[in-house]
Structure 1
Amino acid sequence: MAQCEANYWLLQKLMPASEVRDSWEFAVERAKGRWEVRIQITERMRYTTTVQVFRQDADDSEWLRAPRLTVRLYHDAHLAEVLACEEHRRLNVKYSYPNHKMYQADEKAQFNRFLGEWLRHCLANGHSLHEISLPVR
């Protein structure tokens, strides 16, 4: 739960004005060039928001594709939980091991930790690709 709470606040930092905007794009510097990361709202409800978090690159190789995470933000509880990653739909909290899809017992927790690491990396090494407009006073 602590990881989901941290992910919620990291997403809030990366998604300013989320009540009026639907997407955010960032350039994240790396050793050779940069990645472009996009956060896209796919569903808004009264107490939740669902977003896609993904990297969009032309240089993705076949053996190492950038993940596309589906994340639900629970605004009343201040939590953000990974629901799905690419073909891994509706992740269970815990899996028996071994299982037919060979998921680790803590597969969902690993995706949530990955999301947190990725969001922290975006905050530390990225910059927005959007123009910033300051309110007129």
Structure 2
Amino acid sequence: MRRKYVPDLTRQMSICEANYARVNKLMPDLEHQDAREFSISSQEQQSAVRIEVMERFTYTTTLRVSQSSAATPWLDAPTLLVRLYHDAGMAEVIHTERRQFSGAYSYPNHQMFQPDEKAQLNHYLGEWLSHCLRYGQHHEPIYLAYPAS
């Protein structure tokens, strides 16, 4: 007999809380900033991760998180729509450019979705944000102040 998949809600919540903290470190001025881009360079390739505010409400903000890379134009990284829940302090992937996700899927299913796809995407988002925190370079304009003459 096949066991039904039961999401680990405690683990899911901790991943979403950690992702919320990561987003706030990357965009500490989130309520005023509409977008931020990070360059990530390695010996093999250069890529950019862009975090863009799509909508703002009192208790939620929706972000689009995307990556572009010149090294692999044939393989697009997924664009994630992430909902920030400010009252709960959580960030959750709600949609990709391809489809919206349910919390769990029965398995096997007609579309062959994995039972824990949403959990995998939230974990992937955490890895992406952590990589930006560790290796990302944000280039802000520099304003020089000249002494009054």
Does 1:100 pair with 2:110? Answer: yes
* CA-CA distance at 1:117 after TM superposition: 0.6
List runs of 5+ in structure 1 lacking aligned partners. none
Is 2:21 the counterpart of 1:28?
A: no
Q: Which residue of 2 aligns with 1:112?
A: 122
Q: Deviation at 1:86? A: 2.1
Return the letter of the residue paired with 1:75.
H
Kindly indicate whether the alpha-carbon contact (under 8 Å) linking 2:46 and 2:71 is maintained by their aligned counterparts in 1. no
1:57-85 CA distances to partner (integer Å, 9 max, x unpaired)?
A: 333333x2111000000000000000012
CA offset at residue 109 of structure 1?
A: 0.1
| Aligned match for 2:84, one of 53, 68, 73 | 73
The residue number in structure 2 matching 1:125 is 135
Query: 3-state SS of the aligned residue for 2:69?
Result: coil
Q: Secondary structure at the match of 1:52?
A: strand
Closer, same or farther: CA 132–49 of 1 in aligned 2, 3 Å: farther
Q: For the Cα contact (< 8 Å) 1:28–1:35, is it kept in 2?
A: yes
| Aligned residues: CA RMSD | 1.4
Q: With the length of structure 2 as denominator, give the TM-score of the two structures.
A: 0.82
Pairing partner for 2:59 from 47, 56, 69: 47
CA distance in 2 between counterparts of 1:39 and 1:21 reads 10
Distance 2:110 2:126 in 1: 28
The CA distance in 1 between the partners of 2:57 and 2:142, in whole Å, is 27
Corresponding pairs, count: 131
Question: In structure 2, the residue corresponding to 1:56 is in which secondary structure?
Answer: strand
Segments of 5+ residues of structure 2 without an aligned counterpart are 1-12, 144-149
Structure 1 distance, partners of 2:140, 2:97, is: 26
Q: CA deviation at 1:30?
A: 2.1
Q: CA deviation at 1:132?
A: 6.0
Q: Deviations over 1:42-68 (max 9, x none)?
A: 010110000000012333333x21110
Report the Cα offset of residue 13 of structure 1: 0.5
The Cα of 1:100 is off from its aligned counterpart by 1.9
SS at match of 1:119: helix
What fraction of aligned residue pairs are identical, expressed as a percent? 49
The Cα offsets for residues 97-120 of structure 1, whole Å up to 9 and x where unpaired, read as 111221100000000000001110
**Alignment of 1:61 onto 2:73:** yes
